[in-house]
Amino acid sequence: MQPIIAKQILPWFGGSAAVWTTCLVFFQAVLLGGYAYADLGTRLGPRRQAMLHVVLLLASCAFLPILASAGWKPQGDEAPVGRILLLLTATIGLPYFLLSTTTPLLQSWYWRRFSRAVPYRLFALSNFASLLALLGFPLLLEPALSLPQLGWLWSGLYAGLVILCAATAWNSVREIPAGSAAAVAGAAGTGGAHAGAEAARLAAPTRGVQLAWLALSALGSVMLLAVTNHVTQNISSVPFLWVLPLSLYLLSFILAFDHPRWYLRMPLLALLGVLTPWMAWEIGSLHLAVAVPLYFSGLFVACMVSHGELARIKPDPAHLTRFYLMMSVGGALGAVLVAIAAPLLLPGYFELGIALVLLALLLPLRLAGALRWAGAAVVVATLALVVRGAYDYSSGMRVMERDFYGVVRTHDHLNPVPYRAMYHGAIMHGGQLLGETCKNTPADYFGPTSGYGRLFAALREAAPGQPRNIGVIGLGAGVIAAYGHAGDVMVFYEISPRVIDIARRDYTFLADTPARVSVVLGDGRLSLEREAPRGYDVLGIDAFSGDSIPMHLITREAMALYARHIKPDGAIVFQATNRYVDLLPVIKRLASELGMQAVLVSDSPDEDPQGPGYWRSSTDQVIVTRNAALLASRWLREAAEPIQDRPALPTFTDAHHNLLRILK
């Protein structure tokens, strides 16, 4: 359910990785509500609890199918977190709430009927089923089925689950056998035997133990979201990359609660002592081959320790609903801290470092004797490395501001010439030379030998003095405005208010260009959908978050929208520079479907015999057009390269695209 609904709404909110973390806040909060409902429901007594649950199950069918209405699409000026939470509540709220009650309710009913069998292993079985579903989504379901098909399939299966759960609820109360388990389980609601209630009361976990349940589950949740953010902001915001860390998180629950033999306590604590400072050391690393295995391994070990310690202090099954309630409180708290509190309180991506320090604190708290000193040494080392990483991340920054869509930083380089760079996430996204004579010179990915530079030169040569109509999805520092001439009209589409403020405050491209410039706030694709055809001569697609690609900008539907907004002889320019994802065959296929040509222009300033400047960056840009004369111009003819088609690659659509097929 989680990747289906998140994949559907991801394009509506800019394709940002923060969409997934906001979804996780909703999932964890509703899980908390479901566990609280299960815990409080035991006080109603078995029959009334079962009747209430059956009524709610039947009512939840009114929410089917789980496909969000297009009326929830944002206009651009809404608070995204609140709108996402409202959308999820209205679309999947009651079905998800009832699904979240399944684990504690069924185990409670099971314990009531079969008091000699300990039900905690059912928690491992439940998580194993969830793991199979999560792994099956990117590997089996997503490649084979479209998004509407997935929504209807899920809804049909849920209707079957409603029938199954209703039958189970009825059977669980049809015949309650005599014995203490039923008395204990239903004492609050049915006035069960005094001796059983008294025994349960005496065995009730202390407040300190319950706080330990909360803290350990919160730590696992914090690590899950912090690591997911760290990876997805630099690769791509697609369910495939959300599923992997969530699968590791579930796997740790499976192993910890299936049997004590899977939690190898001392070896795992020792691994945690090695991996925690190592992750702190690599916190600024952009090397995918190192960072992803390290952080996913670290996440798994962290969750194994957190959940393994949690399983070691689990209570008697008579208190299992309270145990699950405190676990869900911790999970929801961890999600809120990372997804909501961190963007509001922290100016940059510091939550992973904070999580690593908290994780290291587990060692001296859970170890004894001389080993406690070793754990304290790990805490000191981790803290020192996190502080060093935070210093490197923020040192010398003129500006560091954060919103729902990411962190924007600016930094002034002084030698060999003054230059102000803009960073979004860990990636530089444009900048400006600061000298009066060269401050309006396009640099970085937009130099004169880039795809943009050559395209604008070819257009000016073909029709000197003719005003141009130019649109760009993604503002950055506004470097492309440097190509504007008097009479030109330039429209930038930018989803982040912070980026707009900084581009106007820290850079002068928008103010210095002789072209008439306007900036439209909101997701570029949604903004274009609401507009009449613009008749652009050039439409640039340059919207990235860190190194992450909003996949909804490179689908069949998106390409048809771009084609509607350009002139018949106009051009679309895709920024295809990426270390991890090969966009070239995707764009080639989309262009071919519309009868357009797609060529690659690679710019490598390092090969410039006159010597490169560090303000110029190597880049790959794809130009898509029907204008054969434009591609034959001397500016493009000498640099444009054909793109190799991949016949086996399916066309990317809004309903069906798979990142696995285009990983480098």
* Residue 65, helix vs strand vs coil: coil
Residues 540 and 435 in one domain: yes
State the pLDDT at residue 135: 85
Residues 132 and 74 in one domain: yes
Q: Is residue 321 part of a domain?
A: no
Residues 121 and 259 in one domain: no
State the pLDDT at residue 527: 92
State the pLDDT at residue 235: 56
- What is the rounded average pLDDT of the residues 494-516? 94
Q: Is residue 531 part of a domain?
A: yes
Whether 539 shows a pLDDT value over 60: the answer reads yes
- Cα distance between residue 333 and residue 32, in whole Å: 10
Domain that holds residue 289: 206-314+346-395
- What is the rounded average pLDDT of the residues 129-138? 86
> Is there a contact between 353 and 295 (Cβ–Cβ < 8 Å)?
no
- Cα distance between residue 547 and residue 567, in whole Å: 30
Closest CA to 327 of 468, 417, 188, 218: 218
- Cα distance between residue 218 and residue 309, in whole Å: 13
State the pLDDT at residue 202: 46
Whether 281 shows a pLDDT value over 90: the answer reads yes
Instruction: Name residue 158's amino acid.
Output: Y
**Type and span of the H or E element at 597:** strand 597-603
Q: How many domains does the chain have?
A: 3
Residues 27 and 52 in one domain: yes
Q: Is residue 326 part of a domain?
A: no
> Is there a contact between 406 and 426 (Cβ–Cβ < 8 Å)?
no
Residues 185 and 228 in one domain: no
Residues 362 and 457 in one domain: no
Residues 21 and 169 in one domain: yes
Closest CA to 187 of 117, 112, 105: 112
Instruction: Name residue 145's amino acid.
Output: L
124: tokens are: 């491992």
Closest CA to 455 of 642, 639, 638, 635: 635
Residues 109 and 239 in one domain: no
493: tokens are: 């589409």
Report the percentage of the chain scoring pLDDT > 90.
Answer: 47
Whether 536 shows a pLDDT value over 90: the answer reads yes
* Residue 122, helix vs strand vs coil: helix
State the pLDDT at residue 547: 54
Q: Is residue 328 part of a domain?
A: no
Final residue in a domain of this structure, among 198, 219, 246: 198
- What is the rounded average pLDDT of the residues 614-625? 84
Distances (CA, A) of 405 to 68, 232, 332: 22, 12, 22
pLDDT: which is higher, 174 or 555:
555
- What is the rounded average pLDDT of the residues 427-448? 84
- Report the CATH number at residue 586: 3.40.50.150
Phi, psi (rounded to 5 degrees) for 472? -140, 125
Q: Is residue 401 part of a domain?
A: no
Whether 118 shows a pLDDT value over 80: the answer reads no
Whether 329 shows a pLDDT value over 70: the answer reads yes
> Is there a contact between 312 and 269 (Cβ–Cβ < 8 Å)?
no
Q: Is residue 339 part of a domain?
A: no
Q: Where are the beta strands (DSSP E) in 426-579?
A: 427-433, 469-473, 489-494, 516-521, 536-541, 566-575
State the pLDDT at residue 389: 92
List, as one string, the DSSP characters of 168-226.
HHHHHHH---SSHHHHHHHHHHH---HHHHHHHHHTPPPHHHHHHHHHHHHHHHHHHHH
- Cα distance between residue 488 and residue 470, in whole Å: 8
Q: Is the peptide bond before 418 cis (omega within 30 degrees of 0)?
A: no
Cα diameter, the chain: 96
- What is the rounded average pLDDT of the residues 26-31? 89
> Is there a contact between 22 and 339 (Cβ–Cβ < 8 Å)?
yes
- Cα distance between residue 493 and residue 303, in whole Å: 41
Q: How many CB atoms lie within 10 A of CB 399?
A: 17
The pTM for the full model equals 0.79
Residues facing residue 599 across a β-bridge:
623, 642
- What is the rounded average pLDDT of the residues 196-223? 80
**DSSP class of residue 576?**
-
State the pLDDT at residue 8: 84
List, as one string, the DSSP characters of 311-365.
HHT---GGGHHHHHHHHHHHHHHHHHIIIIIHHHH-SSS-HHHHHHHHHHHHHHH
- Cα distance between residue 20 and residue 511, in whole Å: 36
State the pLDDT at residue 544: 63
| pLDDT digit string, tens, across residues 397-421 | 999 999 888 889 999 988 777 889 9
| pLDDT digit string, tens, across residues 244-280 | 888 899 999 999 988 889 999 999 999 999 999 999 9
Q: Is residue 319 part of a domain?
A: no
> Is there a contact between 507 and 432 (Cβ–Cβ < 8 Å)?
yes
- Cα distance between residue 251 and residue 167, in whole Å: 29
Residues 154 and 181 in one domain: yes
Phi, psi (rounded to 5 degrees) for 425? 70, -130
How many CA within 13 A on the CB side of residue 662? Answer: 28
State the pLDDT at residue 635: 94
State the pLDDT at residue 606: 59
For 590-618, b where at least 16 C-beta lie within 10 A, e where not — what string?
A: bbeeeebbbbbbbbebeeeeeeeeebbbe
Residues 611 and 471 in one domain: yes
- Average pLDDT of the chain? 85
State the pLDDT at residue 192: 39
What are the residues whose beta carbons fall under 8 Å from the beta carbon of 216, sequence distance 6 or more? 306, 307, 309, 310, 330
What are the residues whose beta carbons fall under 8 Å from the beta carbon of 206, sequence distance 6 or more? none
State the pLDDT at residue 186: 42
- What is the rounded average pLDDT of the residues 317-334? 87
List the 566-575 sheet strands across, edge first: 516-521, 489-494, 469-473, 536-541, 566-575, 619-625, 597-603, 640-642
**Phi/psi-derived region of residue 263, left when phi > 0, alpha when psi is between -120 and 50, beta in every other case:** beta
Residues 558 and 451 in one domain: yes
Whether 614 shows a pLDDT value over 60: the answer reads no
pLDDT band at 541 (very low <50, low <70, confident <90, very high): very high
State the pLDDT at residue 201: 43
Whether 189 shows a pLDDT value over 70: the answer reads no
Which residue do the tokens 């760009």 mark? Answer: 472
Whether 613 shows a pLDDT value over 60: the answer reads no
Instruction: Name residue 118's amino acid.
Output: V
Residues 118 and 260 in one domain: no
**DSSP class of residue 483?**
G
| pLDDT digit string, tens, across residues 594-608 | 999 999 999 887 554
- Cα distance between residue 370 and residue 383, in whole Å: 21
pLDDT band at 330 (very low <50, low <70, confident <90, very high): very high
Q: Is residue 400 part of a domain?
A: no
